[in-house]
Amino acid sequence: MLPVASLLILVPLIFAVVTFFTKTKQLAAGFGFLGSLATLGLTLYAYLNFDSSTAAMQFYESVSWIPFLGVNYSVGIDGVSMPLILLNAIVIPFMILFTWKEEMESPNRFYGLILTMQAAVIGVFVALDFVVFYIFWELTLVPLFFIVNLWGGANRAHASYKFFIYTHVASLVMLLGIFGLFYTALNQTGVPTFDIRELIAQFQFFEPGLMKDGIFLAILFGFLAKLPAFPFHSWLPDAYSEAPTAGSILFILLKIGGYGLFRISLPMLPNTGSPQLMIMILGLLGSVSILYGALLALRQKDLKRMIAYSSLSHMGYVILGSAGLVTLSVSGAMFQQFSHGLIMSIMFMSAGAIQTAAGTRIINELGGLAKKMPMLTVAMMVGFMASLGLPGLTGFIAEFLVLTFTFTNLPVFVVIALLAIVVTAGYHLWAMQRAMFGVYNEKLGDVRDINSIQVFSMAVIALLVLYFGLNPSPVLDMMINNSEAIVSLAAGMGV
């Protein structure tokens, strides 16, 4: 069998190197697109050969790397990682198509960084050794920093440095937690290893106390800051709004915070010194993120900042569903990650298209754009309706599972989250009505609709939002098996 997990990292990385040396925009975009298509082809091969009926690791590879430290190049794919790899592989080719006709400086670096980012993110998703995991985790910072810093808006320098410093510091705290996990396990067993699954298994034998909870919280902090969750979200609105359209979408596809929560934090949680307290912390952060993000989104005048805070609110469902520790609440949290990536891609494409066509994304300066941009309006409607949780679209499935099945264990936090639903509907409908409908603002001049390539790109993603909203099983089934494994561990500990 093909070494699929390694090829999923290597292929976009090779195309990234080639793209960096191209001389024209057409060649840069072309190689970028070909690289993303090759990655999509490999991902579809993995998906079609993936056994959804088991939570076992598949496409497993392991090679000794630094033997005296117990470091191995170990990679594999399971039901936690497969949907997120699929999400990245699907969206990035259409993101590149969407930006095909955009004028930009140094397109070779732009598209090369996109493919580098894709390789790094997939590297995080398939890594089964903490050293490999952390290398790819940190590598994701580099392309995002440069994409915002070189091609972002007027405040791009501030936004890029704020993002880099904030998330890098959080990553260093996480690294301390990883070292604490490694050294404590080494003292107990005498055998060095950075294997993620082995260290999580050893964690249950650590002596209860501040050290044990400290290790868990340090690692968790790195994930929550990357998600992000309240109150670790201050980098988000600036980074999302100042990034170019492709950069904003790459931030959305950066699901490594939620992935780390499922892969590492939840399996560790039942073995902490105070698991019930940790569950309460997660439940509180999740519910507050949902409500706080929605309230801040309601206040925004800038369409892109509104979408950014909407993203914060949606990520709260990932945390809340995880804290529920019920198979379908955790599955709903996983599905929210997948759904969120599709929906927010449409929304940021919409904001970017409006900025390009109208010269502004300030909601009160828009109006009546549906008359001039009917194709964009249809695609944007799908994204906005899915984001507010309309039945039949992916957003509804995720939020329904999280709220329904978390209520049993954490009813108060679910009630807090329910308060946000009205607010969420309000800011989505207000923004759509004010920007796209009503009287056309003649000050905008001759506004043109999105081009045929952009229509195609948005239409494909919108159709996927509809397809997986009506038939979530192709990705939800594999999530459920892994969620059962996580929840059974918690049940065994009496959590």
pLDDT at site 54: 87
Q: Which two tokens stand for residue 189?
A: 């067993």
Q: Please give the model's pTM, rounded to 2 decimal places.
A: 0.94
179 secondary structure, DSSP code: H
Average pLDDT over residues 335-339: 96
Instruction: Please name every residue paired with 75 in a beta bridge, in sequence order, or none if there are none.
Output: 61, 127
- Please give the angle made by the CA atoms of 305, 311 and 316, to the nearest 5 degrees: 135
pLDDT at site 367: 85
Note whether 320 and 413 are within 8 A (CB): yes
Tens digits of residue pLDDT in 120-130? 999 999 999 99
Tens digits of residue pLDDT in 278-295? 999 999 999 999 999 999
Q: DSSP characters for 15-55?
A: HHHHHHT--SHHHHHHHHHHHHHHHHHHHHHHHHT--TT--
pLDDT at site 293: 96
Tens digits of residue pLDDT in 74-91? 999 999 999 999 999 999
| Average pLDDT of the chain to the nearest whole number | 93
Distance between CA atoms of 249 and 84, rounded to whole angstroms? Answer: 14
Angle between helices 245-253 and 327-358 (to 10 degrees): 180
Closest CA to 44 of 93, 98, 117: 93
How would residue 495 be classed by pLDDT, with cut points 50, 70 and 90? low
262 secondary structure, DSSP code: I
Closest CA to 186 of 274, 317, 68, 292: 68
How would residue 211 be classed by pLDDT, with cut points 50, 70 and 90? confident
Q: Residue 46 pLDDT more than 90?
A: yes
Distances, alpha carbon 194 to alpha carbons 140, 186, 219, in Å: 21, 10, 14
Note whether 424 and 313 are within 8 A (CB): yes
pLDDT at site 486: 86
Note whether 237 and 308 are within 8 A (CB): yes
Distance between CA atoms of 441 and 458, rounded to whole angstroms? Answer: 25
Distances, alpha carbon 35 to alpha carbons 111, 119, 122, 131, 263, in Å: 10, 10, 14, 26, 28
pLDDT at site 443: 85
Place of tokens 């592989």: 89
How would residue 491 be classed by pLDDT, with cut points 50, 70 and 90? low
- Compute the Cα dihedral for 222, 224, 225, 231 and give only its sign: negative
Q: Which two tokens stand for residue 4?
A: 């699929």
Q: 360 — alpha (psi -120 to 50), left (phi > 0) or beta?
A: beta
Distance between CA atoms of 11 and 7, rounded to whole angstroms? Answer: 6
Q: DSSP characters for 355-378?
A: HHHHS--BGGG---GGGT-HHHHH
Closest CA to 259 of 216, 220, 221, 223: 223
Question: Count of alpha carbons within 13 Å of 422, Cβ hemisphere only?
Answer: 4
Cβ burial 437-459 (10 Å sphere, 16+ → b, else e): eeeebeebeebebbeeebbebbb
Place of tokens 């093909």: 2
Using only the alpha carbons of the chain, give its radius of gyration: 22
Distances, alpha carbon 235 to alpha carbons 64, 81, 117, 238, 239, in Å: 38, 26, 19, 6, 6
